[in-house]
Structure 1
């Protein structure tokens, strides 16, 4: 899981993209890791604007995670390789995603930059909206 995510580090940030080494956003990173692990994606996301969460207020990212990853696990039980969803404000839908790495760090596509590994410092930790386990490979 982590090895698959780490191969994306340095991929430039590109809204709605999901091509390792060429460009991706946070959802594109998760989609790419999914493809690396399982093959085909379970669904293609519809086109979305950068401000999609602010516009509609729907928990689209959370709903997709529930459909494809199953029930969320408690934050206290998160482990390396888990999918993390973040919300910027308590009243807003989850809008950002990353994958928990070793040493209290996570891998994510950082807007206007690239896929990076960041420390899961308190300012990130309190924004965690949900934690999901990638499904077992069948």
Structure 2
């Protein structure tokens, strides 16, 4: 465990209970999965690195473009998918052949692995990183060192 990873998890835990609201990113008021990551960024770093344009629920699927993955590569540090740690930002592909469009923060590792994410009809919650979720992970990132 790193101090930085613990700080990211602590920040993410503070968002639990925030309702799901598409395109939002305000603790307690509403957020989606990207809004959760953006909110943690603002809490820990200050201003966001770029403005996020409006996006639809299908999140670049019609074009087949991995826009969320590309943005993560610009602002976060890529890791190996199997190199899990507390505080990692995990990117999921929700169905085979679709673009990756769901994000979460890993809160526990090992046999009791868990992650925090904003999920439609559930809001921000902590869920087990069970086999079905784990199989959907396509990339893993960490916030830049020293920025927290």
SS at match of 2:82: helix
Query: What residue is the counterpart of 1:124 in the other structure?
Result: 133
Q: Does 1:8 align with 2:2?
A: no
Verify the 8 A CA contact 1:38 1:137 in the aligned structure 2.
Answer: no
Q: Aligned-pair distance for 1:78?
A: 1.3
TM-score normalised by structure 1 residue count = 0.95
Q: CA RMSD in A?
A: 1.1
Relative to the length of structure 2, the TM-score reads: 0.89
Any idea what SS the aligned residue of 2:79 has? coil
Size of the aligned set, in residue pairs, is 137
Matches within 5 A, 1:1-138: 1-70=8-77, 72-102=78-108, 103-138=112-147
CA distance in 1, matches of 2:74, 2:24: 21
Bigger shift: residues 85-94 or 103-112: 85-94
CA distance in 2, matches of 1:67, 1:90: 24
Measure, in 2, the Cα distance between the counterparts of 1:137 and 1:43.
Answer: 19
User: 5+ unaligned residues in a row in structure 2: which ranges?
Assistant: 1-7
